Amino acid sequence: MCGHCGCGQPELEHEHVHADGTRHSHPHHHDHEHSHATTIVELNTRILAKNDALAARNRAWFAGREILAINLVSAPGAGKTTLLERTIRDLDGQTNIGVLEGDQATALDGDRIRAAGAPVVQVNTGTGCHLEADQVARGLNELRPPARSIVMIENVGNLVCPAMFDLGERAKVVLLSVTEGDDKPLKYPHMFRAASLMLLNKIDLLAHVDFDVERALACAREVNPDMSVLRLSARTGEGMTAWYEWLQREARAASEAAFV
Amino acid sequence: MHELALTQEIVAIACKAASGQRVHVITLEVGRLSCVSPEALEFCFDVVAQGTLAEGARLDIRRTDGDELHVMTLEIEEAA
């Protein structure tokens, strides 16, 4: 068998058919007796053009309804769902929150959000490691969030892939928990660079872990000097007020931006 | 593995622009800050391109310094 392409022909004789129907054979690493007439097509197309166009459509959809959309990202287990549960319970009666819950599989997180009292649509990505803009559009179609509400998009737990895919959100919020490494912003710079706010979660556990808060903040500043940072514990509620104030500010800004 | 999703986009863009002709070379620009591994693109490409006009095509990946992620040109067989 030919060792180059596995075509089943002897090593020196390789037969193939051209698009114009010409059949010929020749050894590999040959000069062609006829030329493959080819032509160059200039494209200069962004690979993410389709996702970005759908994200822009989502963004306009949110703006038209004065909805604040947040893309919540972190490694698995950093506390995204716990943060949302407490936020929903604490802001009950003040703010309408709807959730798009992204996970590879199961409706477990969606059930937790529903139990906390918010409408939720579970988006299972299957083998997908991140949410894409069209999944968010389909989720919104089902969620039907009211005007001037907040839509929390809980992305798949993953600090790599979700950084690349714009969903149409106003801001990415990244959670870093103190049970992770304090050098994580340096190890996953794309995600921390893409985020507007970092929530340092699980600070109630600081006494029990080796996490160096100052080092984590320095690492975060190094990759993204413009990122705000809040320290909190979604479990005990410590520091959550500042997060709610941030959300209210962003909601007002989203509302004002709708009229530009 | 976001490269799989990106490769599907690359193949879709190439096949659409090829207007029914076989694709020989796809030239990409992949920036060093783009969070994309050229090796992973190559790895996914053969599988994703199978059964399409881009099957057997070569990826010519040019590294740039920014966060570019572009399909620059296609070399396709000329229409008979």
State the alpha helices, DSSP H only, in chain B: 2-17, 38-49
From chain B, pick out residues whose CB is under 8 angstroms from the CB of A164: 2, 34-36
Residues 153-182 of A with CB under 8 A from B: 160-161, 163-165
Contact call for residues A71 and A172 (beta carbons, < 8 A): yes
Contact call for residues B75 and B67 (beta carbons, < 8 A): no
pLDDT-flagged residues of chain B (< 50): none
Please give, rounded to a whole number of angstroms, the shortest distance from the CA of A164 to a CA of chain B: 8
For the cut 60, the answer to whether the pLDDT of residue A1 exceeds it is no
Q: Does A190 touch chain B (CB under 8 A)?
A: yes
Interface test with A, best of B1, B2, B7, B67 (most A CBs within 10 A): B2
pLDDT, residue A258, reads 74
pLDDT, residue A102, reads 93
For the cut 70, the answer to whether the pLDDT of residue A226 exceeds it is yes
Tens digit of pLDDT for each residue in A147-196? 999 999 999 999 988 999 999 999 999 999 999 999 999 999 999 999 99
pLDDT, residue A34, reads 52
Across the interface, which of B22, B76, B80 has its CB nearest the CB of A41? B76
**What is the C-alpha to C-alpha distance for residues A83 and A77, in angstroms, rounded to an integer?**
11
Q: Does A35 touch chain B (CB under 8 A)?
A: no
The pTM assigned to this predicted structure is 0.84
pLDDT, residue A11, reads 45
B23-31 sheet: strands from edge to edge: A38-46, B69-77, B23-31, B58-64
Strands A23-26 and A14-17: antiparallel
Mean of the per-residue pLDDT values of chain A: 89
From chain A, pick out residues whose CB is under 8 angstroms from the CB of B47: none
What is the complex's ipTM, to 2 decimals?
0.90
From chain A, pick out residues whose CB is under 8 angstroms from the CB of B69: 46-48
For the cut 70, the answer to whether the pLDDT of residue A29 exceeds it is no
What's the mean pLDDT in A30-38?
62
**By C-alpha distance, which of A165, A136, A5, A184 is closest to B4?**
A165
pLDDT, residue A257, reads 83
For chain B, the residues whose C-beta falls within 8 A of a C-beta of chain A are 1-2, 5-6, 9-10, 12-13, 17-18, 21-22, 24, 28, 33-36, 69-78, 80
What's the mean pLDDT in A122-130?
88
Token pair of A42 as six digits: 């200039």
Interface test with B, best of A47, A125, A158, A166 (most B CBs within 10 A): A47
State the alpha helices, DSSP H only, in A188-231: 189-194, 213-223
Percent of chain A past pLDDT 90, that is, above it, reads 80
| Contact call for A161 and B69, based on CB within 8 A | no
Tens digit of pLDDT for each residue in A39-75? 999 999 999 999 999 999 999 999 999 999 999 999 9
Tens digit of pLDDT for each residue in B15-27? 999 999 999 999 9
For the cut 50, the answer to whether the pLDDT of residue A28 exceeds it is no
pLDDT, residue A63, reads 95
| Contact call for A46 and B69, based on CB within 8 A | yes
Greater confidence, B53 or A17?
B53
